[in-house]
Amino acid sequence: MIELIDVHKSFDGTEILKGISAKFESGKTSLIIGQSGSGKTVLMKSLIGLHRVDQGQIIYDGRNMPDMSFKQLRALRREMGMLFQGSALFDFMTVLENVMYPLEMFSNMTAIEIEKRARFCLGRVDLVERSYSLHPSEISGGMQKRVAIARAIALNPKYLFCDEPNSGLDPVSSLVIDRLIKEITEEFNMTTIINTHDMNSVMEIGDNIVFIKKGYMKWQGSNKQLFNSGSEDLDEFVFASNLFKAVKDAHEKHGASI
Amino acid sequence: MYRVFGKPDKWKMYFRQLLLEMETLGLSSLGIVIIISIFMGAIMVIQIKLDMDSPLLPIYTVGLATRDVLLLEFSSTIMCLILAGKVGSNIASEIGTMRITEQIDALEIMGVNSANFLILPKVSAFIIMMPMLVIISMAMGMIGGYSVALFSGIVTVTEFEIGLQFAFVPYHVFYSIFKSLVFAFIISSVASFYGYNVKGGALDVGKASTNAVVNSSILILLSNIVITNFMLA
């Protein structure tokens, strides 16, 4: 479990995160949602330690990240997997080498075991074998995301972070990636945190949703509670889409709850 | 600095990267080194002969001057200035692109010391490969000069050979190789610094690449004066 307590972060005197507190439980997919510029990416980067927070606590199963030394932080990071917005695969390595890389760096497995594990991870994300020898530039965006997921889960991380996993993907591929993340989270009992503003993802896999606006945490709940949150700010964000507004209106007209 | 030159996370991975970089930075530069050295050696013979066309100077002076220019300045300093453009921009743009596409962040998240993993193999590979490039450049320059002597006949091959061997000081080869080691460190570390600290987008990678080449060239020229003063003056 990851817990945020009163997290503040400023850049050049401008406060971006203004006292965020939230809980992210293991085995559940937690989504951080909010408009562009609301502080989602800064929050994500603070969570993984790429930004040092100015104030507050980020507690990873009892360990407070801001108190950690560089060495301790590096050790904690080995328990993390991260799926970046642009996949961030290493250009100079093939698909298989990308997934083998963290295993080669941090495991004591033999070369055969490493390749076997990498092939298992790539198989788990449904990548076809003939793509294993290709370089990232030779495969599609959706496939790159799958490779990035395979790389992220290679070392059996306890915590999985995804920064806009659906960005640049078509709706079908987005759905596949969303479901894959949820399946993996439940299968490996990981604490998964996803940064997104894709409402389809929210409805599909949002076990726990944290809504932030202008650096403040405005609401936390599940996707089932989303439409009846009672939060004006959240309603403004969720029902910006005509589709969601129409669904809500239709349900209200017929007296049914969503 | 400590992060870059600290102990690698895994030696096996370090040596694998080192071999890869020796090929990328060293062997891939061999072609340009050979071509430029041959032509420069050839041109040097023609121009020196033109400038030394005096009955008071022995003909073998052409070979002697060509050898000394190659050994003392061309194969180390001028070749390193050329390689600062090729290798320096390669390193800065490669690391810079990794920075803006979040590949370096990905390494950090995995718990890898990204500075050490990316920069140390490049610096050490280039330092290892540079003496080889310098020695090949010296040899190729002399072959270029020899070819001119052989085919154009502006100096005889025998006179040219006498000039190459006359008053040879082996220390000059050591001096040249020592300089090239310093220059190799400057090129690879300055380019890595600019690449690693890129912020922004593709435009900033281009700027970093330019800055890396310009600044490493200036540092090469400055250190050339200092080293020459200490070793030859």
Tell me the two tokens of residue A29.
């997919």
Tell me the two tokens of residue B93.
């743009």
pLDDT, tens only, B31-67: 999 999 999 999 999 999 888 877 888 888 899 999 9
DSSP-derived letter for residue B155 is S
Mutation site for B-interface testing, chosen from A42, A60, A84 by largest number of B Cβ within 10 Å: A84
Q: What angle do CA B153, B159, B161 make, to 5 degrees?
A: 105
Would you say residue B119 has pLDDT above 90?
A: yes
Tell whether A105 is within 8 A of chain B (Cβ): yes
Confidence of residue A164 (pLDDT cuts 50, 70, 90): confident
> Cα separation of B113 and B158, whole Å?
57
ipTM of the modeled complex = 0.78
Would you say residue B79 has pLDDT above 70?
A: yes
> Cα separation of B208 and A162, whole Å?
29
CB contact under 8 A, B109 and A105: no
CB contact under 8 A, B110 and A105: yes
Tell whether A111 is within 8 A of chain B (Cβ): no
Nearest to A246 by CA among A227, A230, A224: A227
Distance from the Cα of B8 to chain A's closest Cα (Å) equals 10
Interface of B with A (CB under 8 A): 9-10, 12-13, 20, 97-98, 101-103, 105-106, 108-113
Mutation site for A-interface testing, chosen from B12, B17, B103 by largest number of A Cβ within 10 Å: B103
Confidence of residue B204 (pLDDT cuts 50, 70, 90): very high
Gyration radius (Cα) of chain A, Å: 19
In this prediction, residue A256 carries a pLDDT of 56
Query: Cβ(B118)–Cβ(B104) under 8 Å?
Result: yes
pLDDT, tens only, A32-66: 998 888 888 899 989 988 888 999 999 999 999 99
Tell me the two tokens of residue A127.
């990548």
Distance from the Cα of A199 to chain B's closest Cα (Å) equals 25
In this prediction, residue A74 carries a pLDDT of 82
Q: Which helix (H) or strand (E) holds B16?
A: helix B11-21
**Cβ neighbours of A155 in B, within 8 Å:** 110
Would you say residue A258 has pLDDT above 60?
A: no
Name the residue with higher pLDDT: A255 or B197: B197
**Cβ neighbours of B103 in A, within 8 Å:** 88-91
Confidence of residue B161 (pLDDT cuts 50, 70, 90): very high
Residues making up chain A, counted from first to last: 258
Name the residue with higher pLDDT: A142 or A254: A142
Would you say residue A129 has pLDDT above 60?
A: yes
Confidence of residue A165 (pLDDT cuts 50, 70, 90): confident
CB contact under 8 A, A77 and B111: yes
> Cα separation of B91 and A186, whole Å?
42
CA atoms within 13 A of residue A187's CA, in its CB half-sphere: 11
In this prediction, residue B24 carries a pLDDT of 92
pLDDT, tens only, A85-115: 888 999 889 999 999 999 998 888 899 999 9
Query: Cβ(B21)–Cβ(B121) under 8 Å?
Result: yes
CB contact under 8 A, B13 and A89: no
In this prediction, residue A255 carries a pLDDT of 61
Question: How many inter-chain contacts (A to B, CB under 8 Å) are there?
Answer: 54
